[in-house]
Structure 1
Amino acid sequence: MNKIFVIYPGFPHYRVGIIEALINSNHNHYEFLGDKKGYNNVKPYDFKGSADFKDFPAYKIGPFYFNKGLIRYVISHKCDGAILHSPPHYISIIIAALILRIKGKKVYNWTHGILTNHRNLKNKIYFIFYKYFFDGLLLYGNLAKENLINLGFKAERIKVLYNSLNYKEQIKLRGTLTKKERENIRLRLFENPNNDQLVFIGRLTVQKKLGLLIKAIKLLKDENIFVNLLFVGDGDQRKELQSQIDEFKIANQVCFYGASYDETLNYKLISSSECCVAPGEIGLTAMHSLMFGVPVISHNDRNRQMPEFEAILPNVNGSLFEYDDTVDLKEQIKNVLNLNKAKSNLQMQKDCYKIMDEYYNPNYQIKLIDNLFLSENISANFVKKKVSNK
């Protein structure tokens, strides 16, 4: 089996599905190198003392990040290839990538790529970084691939792997919530549990533009359409959102549940809702909701979105509203609630599941990743380089 380094600043807990798929691969042996404390204040994945995880503590100097001991380890240990996650300012990881390429190993950066179609200086710098530092890119979405190709990046050097969560456990959960359980959850959360229920799950940050959602609830109320709103998550915007709720006198329609890392509980809270709404950039929130059969609403500006918004198919499993337009957000909420009523509950669930089961799961990802490092592919790449050098 080929030995493949997987090098991250730290491994977030929500990558559990693909991490465990890599650990259990029958084709390659993956070794994980990163900071056990994680990064970006996200709860880290627990490798539980596995010998396949090596801890390299991270530290920061100015805008640059370093992982102590990583470069020494890469120099002194053998591997057959590497996948890493790194922007240009993660210095130790970039140096490690260069060392491995000098050794003749295939190195891929699993990254967002270029998320906007702007031809600005930042995108040109990232284009050069991606082009010359790596053998190829593994991307979360197709629009990032399109942006890179339009800048001149070769399509054959890009694989779109999408994203995934804890798919194995989510499959076990979905469809198990009974009608009675659903009623009891809504009864505990809201004064008027018969109202249609919207949910947002994720961190309550300014990028999520949750104030737009509060305003939309107020606009709906002005039309005598009463919906409940459940926030699952916490963050620095909570006090500001609460003030807005009090101002609009809709406190009985909004519930702050708080942060939850319990997948069973998250399933029940999401599945007790008619629709998930994320007015700002949407990422894993879209996957979480669609995976449990609940349609999703977010905005339509591709240059201000995360890759996972590509999973939202208007009039099929959700809707996209005009960016920053509260009135259109209100209208799209009405449209999706009507779409729910027009379809059977089973059909809506199937329409949400479909894209998750085809692309946004570890089973899809591991096949592509394993194939990158099959012995015949590595050998073919080596021969190709020798021929081109002649």
Structure 2
Amino acid sequence: MNKVLVIYPGFPHYRVGIIEALRNSTHNHYLFLGDKKGWNKIKPYDFKDSPDFKDFPAYKIGPFYFSKGLIRYVIFEKCSGAIVHSPPHWISIIVATLILRIKGVKVFNWTHGILKNHKNLKNRFYFIFFKYFFDGLLLYGNIAKRNLINLGFNKEKIKVIYNSLDYQKQIKLRGTLTEKERQSIRSRLFDNPENDQLVFIGRLTAQKKLHLLVEAIKLLKDENIFVNLLFVGDGDQKKKLQSQIDEYKITDQICFYGASYDEIENYKLIASSNCCVATGEIGLTAMHSLMFGVPVISHNDMNRQMPEFEAILPNINGALFEYDNTFDLKEKIKSVLNLSRDKSKLQIQKDCYKIMDEYYNPNFQLKLIDSLF
């Protein structure tokens, strides 16, 4: 079997699906190199005492990052290929990349690429970095691919690999919530559980623009459309949101559930809802919701979005509202809630599952990665 190095600053816990798929590959032997304590304060994936993992502690000097012992390791290690996850300022990984390429090893960077379609100095710098340092790129989305191609990047050297979560665990959960359980959850959360229910899951921060969502609930109420809103998360904007809710007199339509890190509990909260709404950028939340059969609404400004928003297909599994436009958000909420008037609950779920099962899963990613080496 080919030995392929997978070099990250640290491996986040939410990459469990693809990490375990790679570890179980029958095509290549993947060896993981990174800091066992993780990186950027994100909970790390636990390799335990697996021989498939090598620990290279990370440290910082000024704006630059290093991995202790990594460069020496790649000088002497024999391998058939490598995948790295690194921007230009992670010096040890970049030097390791150059050493591997000098040795004739193909190196791919698994990266966001260029998310904004601006032909500015920053994007041109990243274009040069991606073009000359790597044999190819693995990107999370098609928009980043298009942006690179527009700058002159060779499209043959780009593979869109999308993203994934703990697919195997999630697929066992989805569809297991009964209607009785659904009603019980809604009754515990709201005084009027018969109302349609929206959910936001994530940090309550200014970046998320959640005041727009609260305002949309008020605008719907003005039209005699009463919708409940469930916030799953905590953050520094909670008090401001509560003041806004009190001012609008919609307290009985809003529930602050608090932060939840339990996958089963999050499944129940999402699956008990009619729609998930993210008024700021949406990332993994889109995948989480669609994986559990719940449509998603977010904004349409691709320069202010994360790659996962591409999974939202208007009029099929959700909607995209005009950025910062509360009135359009209100209309898009109405349109998604009206899906249940035109389609069965089972069909709505299938429409949400489809893109997850085709692209946003470890099986698709493993097949693509195995084919590279």
Mean Cα deviation higher: 174-183 or 193-202 = 193-202
Q: Does 1:54 align with 2:57?
A: no
Distance in 1, matches of 2:370 and 2:42, equals 27
Compute the displacement of 1:260 (Å): 2.2
* Aligned match of 1:234: 234
* Aligned match of 1:79: 79
Q: Does 1:122 align with 2:130?
A: no
Mean Cα deviation higher: 238-247 or 45-54 = 238-247
Compute the displacement of 1:243 (Å): 3.1
1:39 and 1:241, CA in 2 relative to 1: closer, same or farther beyond 3 A? farther
* Aligned match of 2:67: 67
Distance in 2, matches of 1:36 and 1:245, equals 43
Alignment of 1:232-311 (within 5 A): 232-311=232-311
Distance in 1, matches of 2:186 and 2:345, equals 17
Mean Cα deviation higher: 94-103 or 245-254 = 245-254
Q: Deviations over 1:347-368 (max 9, x none)?
A: 1001111111111111111000
1:175 and 1:123, CA in 2 relative to 1: closer, same or farther beyond 3 A? same
SS of the equivalent of 2:8 reads strand
Mean Cα deviation higher: 204-213 or 84-93 = 204-213
* Aligned match of 1:100: 100
Compute the displacement of 1:238 (Å): 2.8
* Aligned match of 2:157: 157
Compute the displacement of 1:271 (Å): 0.4
* Aligned match of 2:166: 166
* Aligned match of 1:388: none
Compute the displacement of 1:302 (Å): 1.1
Q: Deviations over 1:129-164 (max 9, x none)?
A: 000010000001111111111100001100000111
Distance in 2, matches of 1:78 and 1:332, equals 54
Distance in 2, matches of 1:322 and 1:331, equals 10
The count of aligned residue pairs is 373
SS of the equivalent of 1:204 reads coil
Tell me which amino acid in the other structure corresponds to 2:127.
Answer: F
* Aligned match of 1:327: 327
Q: Deviations over 1:165-213 (max 9, x none)?
A: 1111111111110011101111111122111110112223332222211
Mean Cα deviation higher: 61-70 or 88-97 = 61-70
Distance in 2, matches of 1:85 and 1:290, equals 26
SS of the equivalent of 1:123 reads helix
Distance in 1, matches of 2:65 and 2:44, equals 17
* Aligned match of 1:27: 27
1:190 and 1:147, CA in 2 relative to 1: closer, same or farther beyond 3 A? same
* Aligned match of 1:213: 213
* Aligned match of 2:199: 199
Distance in 2, matches of 1:38 and 1:73, equals 19
Tell me which amino acid in the other structure corresponds to 1:42.
Answer: I
Mean Cα deviation higher: 213-222 or 279-288 = 213-222
* Aligned match of 2:353: 353
SS of the equivalent of 1:36 reads coil
* Aligned match of 2:9: 9
Distance in 1, matches of 2:97 and 2:236, equals 36
Q: Does 1:42 align with 2:42?
A: yes
Compute the displacement of 1:87 (Å): 1.0
SS of the equivalent of 1:86 reads coil
* TM-score for both structures, normalised by structure 2: 0.97
Distance in 1, matches of 2:272 and 2:124, equals 45
Compute the displacement of 1:265 (Å): 1.3
* Aligned match of 1:384: none
* Aligned match of 1:132: 132
Compute the displacement of 1:75 (Å): 1.9
Q: Deviations over 1:242-288 (max 9, x none)?
A: 33323333232222222222221111110000000011111111111
Compute the displacement of 1:296 (Å): 0.4
Distance in 2, matches of 1:206 and 1:91, equals 32
Tell me which amino acid in the other structure corresponds to 1:125.
Answer: F
Tell me which amino acid in the other structure corresponds to 1:357.
Answer: D
Compute the displacement of 1:37 (Å): 2.1
Q: Identity rate of aligned residues, in percent?
A: 81
* TM-score for both structures, normalised by structure 1: 0.93
Q: Deviations over 1:328-355 (max 9, x none)?
A: 1011001111112221000100111111
